[in-house]
Structure 1
Amino acid sequence: MDKRDAIGSWLSGPRAAAEDAGVDFGYRGQQLGLPEEGPGSIARPGRRLGALAVDWAMSVVIASQFITQGYGDHATSNWALLVFFLMSALTVGTIGFTPGKRLFGLRVVALDTGRVNPLRALLRTALLCLAVPALIWDRDGRGLHDRLAKTVEVRI
């Protein structure tokens, strides 16, 4: 192994180095019994971020309509977070997706029952609003908020 191979494996991360050594991790969602492609497969990060951006933009627009002048941008972002929380908890807990998720062809499902109950949606949304749990992903691409709520975001 020369220096370029060692640096390449370091830059690619431990998963790439393990795969080069012959370890088979399978595809994302295989451990969960989900298909590799098509409906029911794990949602890709780009779609998830796009849906989040749409939902956040909607929340900011809605919150800005309720804010009177004089409160400043700080108050608008706090109201936007509240609107985002309510919209996400209510829509995921009832129909399984937010407007942004629907636009990008995504749905949140419970691993054991298939349907996300309101309590699970509340937990998932609260953790998502904290941001840090959503930034910690497992090898299937699920954020910590999804793992703790025992949910997964899949393609429709």
Structure 2
Amino acid sequence: MDNRQALGSWLSGPRAAAEEAGVDFGYRGQQLGLPEEGPGSIARPGRRLGALAVDWALCMLIAYGLITHGYSQATGNWALLILLVLSVLTVGTVGSTPGKRLFGLRVASVHGGRLGLLRVALRSLLVCLALPALIWDRDGRGLHDRFSGAVQVRI
């Protein structure tokens, strides 16, 4: 391996280097038995981030208008609490938040069906902590989804 190949593999990351060496990772969700594309496939990061942005904006609007009556540090704190409650109520009942519904996503159990209330509460709490949602596995699932046995799929 010359210097150019070594530098190229370093820049493209370990996954690209492993694939170049012949390792087959498959597609996202293959290990979970999900389809590669279409309904039921793993939700892409862009859609998930868009859904979270919509949910956060909605929670900020509620906190701003109904609780703090103006922007302050407390507005963000109230918005976080509202996001937790919104997530537990909506994911626990219909399987998606308003933002997820807008982006065509839902949260399901990796074993099929809906998550139980305790798993939804754990998942929602971990989303509010942010860090678990930023660490993903090879299927694109965050730690919050792995710990709660959930997967975000397209509808």
**Does structure 1 residue 74 correspond to structure 2 residue 60?**
no
Instruction: Tell me the distance in 1 between the aligned counterparts of 2:18 and 2:88.
Output: 38
Structure 1 contact 91–98 (Cα < 8 Å) conserved: yes
Q: How many residues align?
A: 154
Q: State TM-score, norm by structure 2.
A: 0.96
Q: Percent identity?
A: 71
Structure 1 unmatched ranges of 5 or more: none
Instruction: Tell me the distance in 2 between the aligned counterparts of 1:21 and 1:7.
Output: 15
Instruction: Tell me the distance in 1 between the aligned counterparts of 2:97 and 2:13.
Output: 33
Q: Secondary structure at the match of 2:119?
A: helix
1:113, distance to aligned residue in structure 2 (A):
4.0
**Does structure 1 residue 137 correspond to structure 2 residue 136?**
yes
Structure 1 contact 64–76 (Cα < 8 Å) conserved: yes
Q: Secondary structure at the match of 1:37?
A: coil
Corresponding residue for residue 94 of structure 2: 95
1:68, distance to aligned residue in structure 2 (A):
3.7
Q: State TM-score, norm by structure 1.
A: 0.96
Structure 1 stretches (4+) deviating beyond 6 angstroms?
Answer: none
Once the two structures are superposed, the pairs formed by residues 99-138 of structure 1 within 5 Å of their partners are: 99-138=98-137
1:111, distance to aligned residue in structure 2 (A):
1.1
- Residue type of the alignment partner of 2:125: A
1:116, distance to aligned residue in structure 2 (A):
1.5
Q: Deviations over 1:85-106 (max 9, x none)?
A: 1001110011100000000000
Structure 1 contact 88–98 (Cα < 8 Å) conserved: yes
Corresponding residue for residue 146 of structure 1: 145
